[in-house]
Homo-oligomer: A and B are copies of this chain.
């Protein structure tokens, strides 16, 4: 079944121990869509400026991502300039953020897209996420992501939105910040009481934790030996979960396990290259090969 996502489409300028890159295709929506498209047809809802390089749009289109609701407006594309230090590749240091066309952006969804059953709200201003959700006519499965900034400055909007989603995907720091609970298991359980039926806590190189009222599990990450650029890893992860769950149209325990194994696999590819260098060229043969290695790495044989 189809999947529609709202998220940012950005230009990233970043420096990591592996090097320095400018005007990379980035943004939560782009990274999510480029991974989710491996499983099902994906519709992206976003906005870019007139300055947005044609080649980036062409790349997204070439991956079969539907861009009908990606508006091109006068002004500058949302841009992020940041850095990752060798000693803590999990933490992005932001130098500058240019909102550009994101300012007073009003999500637009084409009429024929409004009945898409699977809906994901990648990291974005929760008020914009809510406006988008209200445009959808009959969402069947709704997931969302967020970030520390929105927990700080839009807490009320965020908590209101959380009541409307089935699955919340956040990282460990966000889970603790949202619940003011330091124990991650208690934090995840607390989040399950704040609206979402399912909570996925991303722990970067330390893997992932899942909680629902019925069951919980924790899988280790794929052993990545050279992290080139962590940007978008969480969005690729979410793309893997939502893409797979949209494809199968079920959320049994087995489906969730499989979805999170795919998510772990895709985020491992994400961090191995700048921007989408590693995720854009992926096909299911490559993905399934690494998923097999991942299972070998995390699965007790006794």
Contacts and interface: CB of A to CB of B under 8 A. Distances in A.
B254 A86 contact: no
A73 interface: no
Contact of A300 (B185, B203, B261): B261
Given A183-B226, A221-B218, A223-B218, A257 B302 contact: yes
Contacts of A209: 220
A182 B86 contact: yes
B221 A261 contact: no
Nearest to A295: B300
Given A206-B206, A300-B299, A223 B219 contact: no
A41 interface: no
Contacts of A203: 206
B205 A207 contact: no
Nearest to A211: B223
A219 B220 contact: yes
A227 interface: yes
Given A203-B206, A206-B203, A301 B221 contact: no
A298 B206 contact: no
Contacts of A219: 220, 298, 300
A225 interface: yes
A205 B227 contact: no
Q: By DSSP majority rule, is chain A's interface helix, strand, loop, or mixed?
A: mixed
Interface string A31-71: 00000000000000000000000000000000000000000
Interface residues of A, number: 37
> For the complex formed by this chain, how many copies does it contain in all?
2
A295 B298 CA distance: 11
A298 B217 contact: yes
Contacts of A86: 182
Contacts of A216: 223, 297
A180 to B, nearest CB: 11
Nearest to A89: B182
Interface string A269-302: 0000000000000000000000000011111111
Interface in A112-157: none
Given A206-B207, A217-B297, A217-B299, 13 more contacts: A89-B182, A183-B224, A183-B225, A185-B223, A185-B224, A185-B225, A206-B206, A216-B223, A219-B298, A257-B302, A258-B300, A261-B300, A298-B300
- Considering the complex of A and B, which 3 residue pairs feature the smallest CB-CB distances, nearest first? A218-B220, A206-B206, A257-B300
8 contacts: A183-B226, A203-B206, A216-B297, A258-B300, A258-B302, A298-B298, A298-B300, A299-B300
